[in-house]
Amino acid sequence: PQTIYLSEYKVPAYLVDQVDLRFELFEDGARVHSTLTVRRNPDSGESAAPLFLHGDSLQLESVALNGSPLRTGEFEDRGDALVVPSVPEKFELQVVTWIEPQNNTRLEGLYKSSGMFCTQCEAEGFRCITFYPDRPDVMARFRTRIEADKSAYPVLLSNGNPVDNGELENGRHFVTWEDPFPKPAYLFALVAGDLVEKKDTFTTCSGRNIDLRMYVEPRNAKKCDFAMDALKRSMRWDEDVYGREYDLDIFMIVAVDDFNMGAMENKGLNIFNSSCVLASQETATDAAFQRIEAIVAHEYFHNWSGNRVTCRDWFQLSLKEGFTVFRDSQFSADMGSPTVKRIEDATLLRTAQFAEDAGPMAHPVRPASYMEISNFYTLTIYEKGAEVVRMIHNLLGDEMFRKGSDLYFQRHDGQAVTTDDFVRAMEDASGRDLGQFRLWYEQAGTPVVSVSDEYDESSGIYRLTVRQSIPDTPGQTGKKPQHIPFALGLLGADGQPLPLKLSGESGEAPLERVLELSQAEHCFEFEGLSERPVPSLLRDFSAPVRVHYPWTREQLLFLMSHDPDGFNRWDAGQRLAVDVIQSLVGAPESAGVEPRLVDAYRSLLQDSELDQALMAKMLQLPSEAYLIELAEQADVAAIHQAREKVLGYLAEGLRDELMACYRRNVGQGDYQLTPEAIARRSLRNTALGWLLHIGDQEALALAKEQFRGADNMTDRLGALRALVNSDFAEDRTQALEAFYKRFSDDPQVVELWFSVQASSDRAGQLPQIRQLLDHPAFDWKNPNKVRSVVGAFAAQNLAAFHNPDGSGYEFLAEQVCRLDDSNPQIAARLVAPLTRWRKFAPGYSKQMKSALERIRDKAELSRDVYEVVHKSLA
């Protein structure tokens, strides 16, 4: 496959002003009539360039220019492109294509899901519908007429406003939609199905009434309320915080079962994976509700950050994704607990994005090249991209950042722009120089910030030496220091914050400050300190970096109970637990667990002042995935054993406190989604999980009771998970059977049922995983099912996946090869766990590599999988 380079970007030779589409939808295919109004781009130097239109899996039926059919020789159908060598300055091109949505298993372009037609055009799906200059810097107005059988497809939707409808012969009907906003083809959408409509309204800040509609299959009609409310909260929030008002008269959400990602921000017609939008108390967990709220907000926020202002090319993907993730994370923080949201974001970043940054697919937030753009919808583009925007926010402050975003939207409304344009708007609005800061977009890899300190009692001076370095990544060595906002505080022995007075400074010293690192090494001198402080570093995770400092266990215990920064309080607990677990990895069985850890967790469980949501987070031990990420040469079995040992030790030592915690947090009235109620459920389910881990009989009875009597999915699943991960084999089997029987007609709950088993080292050994693949509810064509079994096994059941006999790797290779023929995007994503083979101890790594080689050697590998596998083996 060909590599595409940012450095080779050229403006389009032709622009499209208007697209008129007519879809004739049938059971055996669809005919697409397209009329493009095209003109030569005055900014392109090429005056006699051929017209080049992308295409993929299309059967061309006819081409005409200004109404005259083109003859053989006047155009070239290359399969992946339609080329018309000679065209006038301005013209209309009529193209008719035939496509087969019913056979489209890639789920790109127009396809069928549970009997309905739907589309996914980002990044390059529109070319699977008709020939088109399928690049985001070609923005056009779309008018779309959809024709279909009326009884099978009563609902016909596309972008914009409905402008016409009527009856046709043979029981068919049509609806025409017009979108007044010019847009790139990746934002085009079409839906046709037998769907129920849920209606609501929203009055914007300027008093306009917007029709809000959700379209779902009839069986899901009762699962729409939460998403609709989340949508209204998002609309209000975007007005209040960013001054962004919705622009069309109608905003629609559609839920579909078969979808490659979470959702898609098509203009006025957002399409969602059912699992990311449908929810009810009985079927969705607290985590699912929170995810739905965040994704609904994310897609809605794209209406400005992505749709009104879009990307010039796909190298700029983080322009819309990084900024929009930052916006949705601010929104979620405002809707719930900001500290908990920060902990969740940092956990994802440190566990998964840092791993990506240290692996063979590492790339900058603005990549310089790619083979298959679908492989670049990554944690680096999304999550690190959001952290980069967050740092700009922190450097500029609230007010200047808002000025910058206002300027960005006003300056670039209706344009396709670059990340550099975004940064320039921030600079122009604030007067700050972000020259060095731009390196965050250009350099891959996670910066390492190493801190050392000394305290001079006689002068009262505390010296911090801070060094930064950025590891080499594929194709990038010898990197320059970056601009890093580094927030910190200092604590005295009594737990009080100490003033941070830099030498030579006058005036009152702050109790927390943000140091701006720009060089490879800095030395900061703080004066006036009458005792040696304990440093609290990188508060609130002020930059996406790794911090190294030789904290002692005493210091971590101290910070865990005293740091006024909630994030660092949690972080101290994590660092302590990591240190204790790491000290047991590979140690003899007789090695003891640090007893102070039990004391620390006991104080935590008994701390009545502590925010319960933070306590719930602090009680989660670092995951195996994070421990693997931190290891040099990961020995998975040893890490698993060490973590299990610490968990068992804590549960034994804190048995009574855990039981008290459970009892304190049960039976608190009606189900609510407040941070407090969510924290209570999290606390009781963590307590239950720990107690069942040590085989506690009383806890077993409580778990069974909770499983049977729960009025919500968080508690039912919490109990099920605790049972499945325990050694009570019979109770586990009974609970799994009862759960399936109760929810077998709800695909989203069945996905939970699959993933609870696939991610458990008790219920998810390879033979059981194979049985799940043979289960009647499993469906290879549905990405959610594949993720809930194969994905969960490889990413969450690490001890089983990394079975030293290599069977887990072989299994994954087999499934990737199988899936590559039908859905290459999902196949390429499934390969990810194998790509980190260099990270593991030799016994594992050799076998992971040979599994990758097996995939590499498959005949007819897709471009998606080819890129991931070849880059991993290079």
Cα torsion 271, 274, 275, 276 to 10°: value is 30
Q: What share of the chain is helix, strand, coil (3-state, %, to 5)?
A: 45, 20, 35
- Six-digit token string for 390: 């967050």
Q: Minimum distance between the CB of residue 376 and Zn ion, rounded to whole angstroms? A: 13
265 binds ligand HT7 (CB under 6 A): yes
Quote the crossing angle between the two packed helices 729-743 and 713-724, to the nearest 10°. Answer: 150
Does 299 participate in catalysis according to the annotation? Answer: yes
Q: Minimum distance between the CB of residue 265 and Zn ion, rounded to whole angstroms? A: 6
Segment 320 to 349, residues that bind Zn ion, using CB under 5 A: 321, 324
Q: Minimum distance between the CB of residue 264 and ligand HT7, rounded to whole angstroms? A: 4
Decide: residue 674, CB within 10 A, 0-12 exposed, 13-18 middle, 19+ buried. exposed
Q: Is 745 helix (H, G, I), strand (E, B) or coil?
A: coil
- Six-digit token string for 779: 């469906």
- Six-digit token string for 453: 């300190």
Q: Minimum distance between the CB of residue 70 and ligand HT7, rounded to whole angstroms? A: 33
| Closest to ligand HT7 by CB, 95 or 214 | 214
C-alpha distances in Å from residue 183, one per residue of 16, 131, 304, 757: 10, 16, 12, 43
How many chain residues touch ligand HT7 (CB under 6 A)? 15
Q: Minimum distance between the CB of residue 310 and Zn ion, rounded to whole angstroms? A: 12
| Closest to Zn ion by CB, 324 or 574 | 324
| Closest to Zn ion by CB, 321 or 629 | 321
Of 53, 264, 628, 868, which lies in the binding site for ligand HT7, with binding defined by CB under 6 A?
Answer: 264
| Closest to Zn ion by CB, 214 or 296 | 296
Question: Out of Zn ion, ligand HT7, none, which partner does residue 264 contact, by CB within 5 to 8 A per kind?
Answer: ligand HT7
Q: What b/e string do you get for 420-435 counting C-beta neighbours within 10 Å, with b at 16 or more?
A: ebbbbbbbebbebebe
Identify which range of 116-124, 347-355, 390-398, 783-791 contacts ligand HT7 by CB under 6 A: 116-124
Identify which range of 318-326, 387-395, 542-550, 662-670 contacts Zn ion by CB under 5 A: 318-326
123 binds ligand HT7 (CB under 6 A): yes
For residue 622, the Cα-to-chain-centroid distance in whole angstroms is 20
| Closest to Zn ion by CB, 324 or 760 | 324
| Integer Cα distance of 406 and 386 in angstroms | 18
Question: Out of ligand HT7, Zn ion, none, which partner does residue 707 contact, by CB within 5 to 8 A per kind?
Answer: none
Q: Minimum distance between the CB of residue 306 and Zn ion, rounded to whole angstroms? A: 7
Q: Minimum distance between the CB of residue 124 and ligand HT7, rounded to whole angstroms? A: 9
Of 122, 147, 345, 867, which lies in the binding site for ligand HT7, with binding defined by CB under 6 A?
Answer: 122
By the 8 A CB rule, do 195 and 290 touch? no
- Six-digit token string for 20: 């008129």
Identify which range of 206-214, 313-321, 498-506, 658-666 contacts Zn ion by CB under 5 A: 313-321
In three-state form (DSSP H/G/I as H, E/B as E, the rest C), the secondary structure along 86-137 is CCCCEEEEEEEEEECHHHCCCCCEEEEECCEEEEECCCCCHHHCCCECCCCC
Long-range contacts of the stretch 562-567 (C-beta < 8 A, 24+): 562/491, 562/495, 563/489, 563/491, 563/536, 564/489, 564/497, 565/489, 565/512, 565/536, 565/539, 565/540, 566/339, 566/611, 566/614, 567/339, 567/342, 567/343, 567/346, 567/539, 567/540, 567/541
111 binds ligand HT7 (CB under 6 A): no
| Closest to Zn ion by CB, 32 or 256 | 256
Segment 132 to 191, residues that bind ligand HT7, using CB under 6 A: none
How many chain residues touch Zn ion (CB under 5 A)? 2
Q: Which of 299, 344, 383, 867 is the catalytic position? A: 299
Question: Out of Zn ion, ligand HT7, none, which partner does residue 760 contact, by CB within 5 to 8 A per kind?
Answer: none
By the 8 A CB rule, do 703 and 692 touch? yes
For ligand HT7, which residue has the nearest CB?
A: 261
Side-by-side strand order, sheet with 29-40? 68-69, 59-65, 90-99, 29-40, 14-26, 140-149, 172-183, 161-167
Q: Minimum distance between the CB of residue 186 and Zn ion, rounded to whole angstroms? A: 12
Q: What b/e string do you get for 740-778 counting C-beta neighbours within 10 Å, with b at 16 or more?
A: eeebeebbbbbbbbbbbbbbbbbbbbbeebeebbeeeeb
Q: Minimum distance between the CB of residue 436 and ligand HT7, rounded to whole angstroms? A: 29
By the 8 A CB rule, do 849 and 873 touch? yes
For residue 625, the Cα-to-chain-centroid distance in whole angstroms is 17
By the 8 A CB rule, do 430 and 498 touch? no
By the 8 A CB rule, do 729 and 738 touch? no
Segment 387 to 446, residues that bind ligand HT7, using CB under 6 A: none
By the 8 A CB rule, do 215 and 255 touch? yes
Q: List CB contacts of 639: < 8 A, sequence separation 6 or more.
A: 581, 585, 624, 627, 628, 631
Identify which range of 115-123, 355-363, 456-464, 623-631 contacts ligand HT7 by CB under 6 A: 115-123
Question: Out of Zn ion, ligand HT7, none, which partner does residue 318 contact, by CB within 5 to 8 A per kind?
Answer: none
Q: Minimum distance between the CB of residue 236 and Zn ion, rounded to whole angstroms? A: 20
Decide: residue 15, CB within 10 A, 0-12 exposed, 13-18 middle, 19+ buried. buried
844 binds ligand HT7 (CB under 6 A): no
| Closest to ligand HT7 by CB, 120 or 757 | 120
Q: Minimum distance between the CB of residue 100 and ligand HT7, rounded to whole angstroms? A: 20
- Six-digit token string for 579: 């240190």
| Closest to ligand HT7 by CB, 327 or 438 | 327
Interaction mask 243-262, ligand HT7, x per CB under 6 A: -----------------xx-
Of 159, 274, 374, 748, which lies in the binding site for ligand HT7, with binding defined by CB under 6 A?
Answer: 374
Of 120, 158, 176, 726, which lies in the binding site for ligand HT7, with binding defined by CB under 6 A?
Answer: 120
Q: Minimum distance between the CB of residue 242 and ligand HT7, rounded to whole angstroms? A: 17
| Closest to ligand HT7 by CB, 260 or 847 | 260
| Integer Cα distance of 211 and 298 in angstroms | 19
| Closest to ligand HT7 by CB, 187 or 429 | 187
351 binds ligand HT7 (CB under 6 A): no
Question: Out of ligand HT7, Zn ion, none, which partner does residue 383 contact, by CB within 5 to 8 A per kind?
Answer: none
Identify which range of 263-271, 387-395, 797-805, 807-815 contacts ligand HT7 by CB under 6 A: 263-271
Reply yes or no: is the peptide bond before residue 123 cis, omega within 30 of 0. yes
Q: Minimum distance between the CB of residue 1 and Zn ion, rounded to whole angstroms? A: 25
| DSSP letter, residue 571 | H
| Closest to ligand HT7 by CB, 120 or 443 | 120
Q: Is 407 helix (H, G, I), strand (E, B) or coil?
A: helix
321 binds ligand HT7 (CB under 6 A): yes
Question: Out of Zn ion, ligand HT7, none, which partner does residue 328 contact, by CB within 5 to 8 A per kind?
Answer: none
| DSSP letter, residue 218 | G
Question: Out of Zn ion, ligand HT7, none, which partner does residue 147 contact, by CB within 5 to 8 A per kind?
Answer: none
| Closest to ligand HT7 by CB, 110 or 851 | 110
- Six-digit token string for 386: 């959001």
Segment 791 to 830, residues that bind ligand HT7, using CB under 6 A: 825
377 binds ligand HT7 (CB under 6 A): yes
| Integer Cα distance of 751 and 741 in angstroms | 14
| Closest to Zn ion by CB, 417 or 703 | 417
By the 8 A CB rule, do 812 and 854 touch? no
Of 127, 244, 298, 312, which lies in the binding site for ligand HT7, with binding defined by CB under 6 A?
Answer: 298
Q: Across the strands, what pairs with 272?
A: 255, 263
Residues serving a catalytic function are: 299
Where do contacts with ligand HT7 occur on this chain (CB under 6 A)?
120, 122-123, 260-261, 263-265, 298-299, 302, 321, 374, 377, 825
Where do contacts with Zn ion occur on this chain (CB under 5 A)?
321, 324
